[in-house]
Amino acid sequence: MVRIEIDADLMLVDDEGRYIGHLPADPSRLHVGCIAVAGRPGGYTWALVEEITDTAVYFRAIEVDEAHKHGRLELPTF
């Protein structure tokens, strides 16, 4: 099973076309520019984090090739 790092409704985007996810309880693994997995168990995507606030994570969905360019080679699992 894939571990979702950013809980997000992938139908919710801001005015800039970025997806909006909930800030995890432990956001220490996230930083601007990092690659994470975002979404929900039924649908998820690789995400490039662009902004982090006190309550939300803003990100762009990226293809697996771009995730690999950033050094992320495997989906996180439990």
Name which of 67, 48, 59 is nearest 14 in CA terms.
59
Specify the pTM: 0.90
Write the pLDDT tens digit of every residue in 43-75: 999 999 999 999 999 999 999 999 999 888 787
Q: 77 pLDDT band (50/70/90 cuts)?
A: confident
Q: Could you state, in order of their start, the residue ranges of all structural domains in the chain?
A: 6-61
Contact 36, 5 (CB under 8 A): yes
- Tokens representing residue 21 in the block: 């996810």
Residue 33 has pLDDT above 90, yes or no: yes
Residue 78 has pLDDT above 80, yes or no: no
**Mean pLDDT in the chain?**
94
